Structure 1
Amino acid sequence: MPCTLRPAALIALLAGASLPSLAYAEEAAPDQIVVTGRGLDAAPAAVAYDVQDIDKDRLAVAASSRIEDALSAAAGFQQFRRSDSRASNPSAQGITLRALGGNATSRTLMLLDGVPVADPFFGYVPLSALAPERLAMARVTRGGGSGAFGAGAVAGTIDLTSASPDQLGLFGGRALVDDRGETELSATLAPKLGAGYLVASGRWDRGQGFWTTPVDQRVPASVRASYESWSTSLRAVAPLTGDIELQARVAAFNDARTLRFAGADTAASGQDASLRLVGRGAWKFDALAYVQARDFNNVVISARTFLPTLDQRATPSTGIGGKFELRPPVGKAHVLRLGADWRYAEGHTEEDVYTAGKITGQRRAGGTNRDLGLFIEDDWTLGPVILTAGARADRWSVRNGVLDSVLSGQASTTVYPDRAGWDGSFRGGAVVKLGGGVALRGSAYTGLRQPTLNELYRSFTVFPIVTRANAALQNEKLRGFEGGIDWRPAAGLSFSATAFDNKVRHAIANVTVATNVRERQNVDAVHANGIELGAEAKFGAFSLSGSFAYTDAKVEAPGTALDGKRPAQTPRYAASATAAWRPSPRTTLAITLRHTGAQFEDDLETDVLPAATTLDAYAEVPVAGPFSLVLRGENLFDEAVVTRNSGGSIDLGTPRTIWGGVKIAFR
Structure 2
Amino acid sequence: MVISRKLQPVGILVLAMAQPAFAQEGDPVIVVTGEGLDETPALPAYDSQTIDREQLLSVPSGRIEDALSSVAGFQQFRRSDSRSANASAQGVTLRALGGNATSRALVLLDGVPMSDPFFGYIPFSALAPERMAQVRVTRGGGSGPFGAGALAGTIELTSAGIEDLAGVAGHALVNDRGESEASASVGTRLGSGFAVVSARWDRGEGFFTTPEADRVPQSARAAFDGWSAQLRGVAPLSEDIELQVRGLAFRDERTLRFEGADSSIEGQDASLRLVGRGEWAFDALAYVQARNFTNVVVSSTRFVSVLDQRNTPATGLGGKFELRPPVGEDHVLRLGVDYRRADGELFETAISAFSGQVTARRHAGGANTDLGLFVEDDWSLLGALTLTAGARLDRWTIRDGFYSERDADGLPVVAETYPDRTGWKGSFRGGLLYRASDALALRAAAYTGLRLPTLNELYRPFVVFPVVTQANSALQNETLEGFEAGIELSPARQVTLSLTGFDNRVKDAIANVTIGTNLRQRQNIDAIHARGVEAGLKAEFGRLGLNASVAWTDAEAQGSGFAAALDCNRPAQTPRFLAGATLSYRPSEDWLFSATLRHVGAQFEDDLETDILPSATTFDAYAQIPLGRQVALVLRGENLTDETIVTRNQGGSIDLGVPRTLWAGLKLGL
TM-score range, shorter chain: over 0.9
1:643 is matched with: 647
1:416 is matched with: 418
1:396 is matched with: 396
Q: Measure the CA separation in 2 of the matches of 1:277 and 1:337.
A: 16
| Identity score, percent | 60
1:256 aligns with 2:256: no
1:502 aligns with 2:504: yes
Please report the TM-score for the alignment, with normalisation by the length of structure 1.
Answer: 0.97
Q: Deviations over 1:374-401 (max 9, x none)?
A: 0000000001110000000000001100
Equivalent runs, 1:12-161 vs 2, <5 Å: 14=10, 16=12, 26-27=22-23, 32-161=29-158
User: Are the counterparts in 2 of residues 426 and 445 from structure 1 also a CA contact under 8 Å?
Assistant: yes
User: Are the counterparts in 1 of residues 173 and 181 from structure 2 also a CA contact under 8 Å?
Assistant: yes
Q: Measure the CA separation in 1 of the matches of 2:408 and 2:203.
A: 40
What letter is aligned with 2:369? Answer: R
Aligned-pair CA distance for 1:183: 0.5
What letter is aligned with 1:367? Answer: G
1:200 aligns with 2:197: yes
Q: Deviations over 1:444-488 (max 9, x none)?
A: 000000000000000111111111100000000000000000112
User: Are the counterparts in 2 of residues 370 and 397 from structure 1 also a CA contact under 8 Å?
Assistant: yes
1:616 aligns with 2:620: yes
2:361 is matched with: 362
**Counterpart pick for 1:583 among 556, 565, 587:** 587
Q: Secondary structure at the match of 2:566?
A: coil
User: Are the counterparts in 1 of residues 32 and 192 from structure 2 also a CA contact under 8 Å?
Assistant: yes
**Counterpart pick for 2:277 among 270, 280, 295:** 280
What letter is aligned with 2:470? Answer: R
Q: Secondary structure at the match of 2:210?
A: coil
**Counterpart pick for 2:240 among 223, 243, 247:** 243
User: Are the counterparts in 1 of residues 94 and 139 from structure 2 also a CA contact under 8 Å?
Assistant: yes
Q: Deviations over 1:53-108 (max 9, x none)?
A: 01001111111000000111102111100000000000000000000001000000
Q: Give the total of aligned pairs.
A: 659
Q: Measure the CA separation in 2 of the matches of 1:486 and 1:601.
A: 35
2:452 is matched with: 450
Q: Measure the CA separation in 1 of the matches of 2:589 and 2:24.
A: 35
Q: Deviations over 1:291-340 (max 9, x none)?
A: 00000000000001111111000000000000000000000000000000
Which residues of structure 1 form unaligned runs of 5+?
A: 6-10
Q: Secondary structure at the match of 1:47?
A: helix
Q: Measure the CA separation in 1 of the matches of 2:446 and 2:478.
A: 17
Q: Measure the CA separation in 2 of the matches of 1:378 and 1:537.
A: 32
Q: Deviations over 1:154-212 (max 9, x none)?
A: 10000001111212331111110000000011011111111111111000000000010
User: Are the counterparts in 1 of residues 358 and 408 from structure 2 also a CA contact under 8 Å?
Assistant: no
2:567 is matched with: 563
**Counterpart pick for 1:573 among 574, 577, 580:** 577
Q: Secondary structure at the match of 1:69?
A: helix
User: Are the counterparts in 1 of residues 46 and 443 from structure 2 also a CA contact under 8 Å?
Assistant: yes
**Counterpart pick for 1:529 among 517, 528, 531:** 531
What letter is aligned with 2:316? Answer: G
2:544 is matched with: 542
Q: Measure the CA separation in 2 of the matches of 1:24 and 1:200.
A: 22
Q: Secondary structure at the match of 1:455?
A: helix
Which consecutive aligned stretches of 4+ in structure 1 deviate over 6 angstroms post-superposition? 18-25
User: Are the counterparts in 2 of residues 28 and 242 from structure 1 also a CA contact under 8 Å?
Assistant: no
Q: Measure the CA separation in 1 of the matches of 2:278 and 2:125.
A: 37
What letter is aligned with 1:416? Answer: Y
What letter is aligned with 1:236? Answer: G
User: Are the counterparts in 2 of residues 47 and 431 from structure 1 also a CA contact under 8 Å?
Assistant: yes
What letter is aligned with 1:43? Answer: T
What letter is aligned with 1:91? Answer: S
Q: Deviations over 1:126-163 (max 9, x none)?
A: 00000111101000000000000000101000000111
User: Are the counterparts in 1 of residues 13 and 235 from structure 2 also a CA contact under 8 Å?
Assistant: no
Q: Which moves more between the two structures, 540-549 or 439-448?
A: 540-549
Q: Deviations over 1:529-551 (max 9, x none)?
A: 00000011112211001000000
User: Are the counterparts in 2 of residues 75 and 548 from structure 1 also a CA contact under 8 Å?
Assistant: yes
Aligned-pair CA distance for 1:20: 9.8
Q: Which moves more between the two structures, 129-138 or 160-169?
A: 160-169
Q: Deviations over 1:583-616 (max 9, x none)?
A: 2221110001100000000000000000000000
What letter is aligned with 2:386? Answer: I
1:596 is matched with: 600
Q: Measure the CA separation in 1 of the matches of 2:133 and 2:18.
A: 29
Once superposed, what is the RMSD of the aligned Cα atoms? 1.8
1:626 is matched with: 630
What letter is aligned with 1:505? Answer: K
Aligned-pair CA distance for 1:436: 4.0
1:607 aligns with 2:611: yes
Q: Secondary structure at the match of 2:473?
A: coil
What letter is aligned with 2:42? Answer: A
User: Are the counterparts in 2 of residues 25 and 240 from structure 1 also a CA contact under 8 Å?
Assistant: no
User: Are the counterparts in 1 of residues 468 and 520 from structure 2 also a CA contact under 8 Å?
Assistant: yes
Q: Measure the CA separation in 2 of the matches of 1:619 and 1:477.
A: 44
1:8 is matched with: none
1:379 is matched with: 378
Q: Secondary structure at the match of 1:342?
A: strand
Q: Measure the CA separation in 2 of the matches of 1:573 and 1:505.
A: 23
Please report the TM-score for the alignment, with normalisation by the length of structure 2.
Answer: 0.96
Equivalent runs, 1:302-321 vs 2, <5 Å: 302-321=299-318
Q: Secondary structure at the match of 2:42?
A: helix
Aligned-pair CA distance for 1:627: 1.6
Q: Measure the CA separation in 2 of the matches of 1:16 and 1:455.
A: 42
1:188 is matched with: 185
Which residues of structure 2 form unaligned runs of 5+?
A: none
Q: Deviations over 1:202-239 (max 9, x none)?
A: 00000000010001110111010001000000000000
1:490 aligns with 2:453: no
Q: Measure the CA separation in 2 of the matches of 1:325 and 1:47.
A: 20
User: Are the counterparts in 2 of residues 24 and 240 from structure 1 also a CA contact under 8 Å?
Assistant: no
Q: Measure the CA separation in 1 of the matches of 2:499 and 2:645.
A: 29
Q: Measure the CA separation in 2 of the matches of 1:12 and 1:27.
A: 22
Q: Secondary structure at the match of 1:86?
A: coil
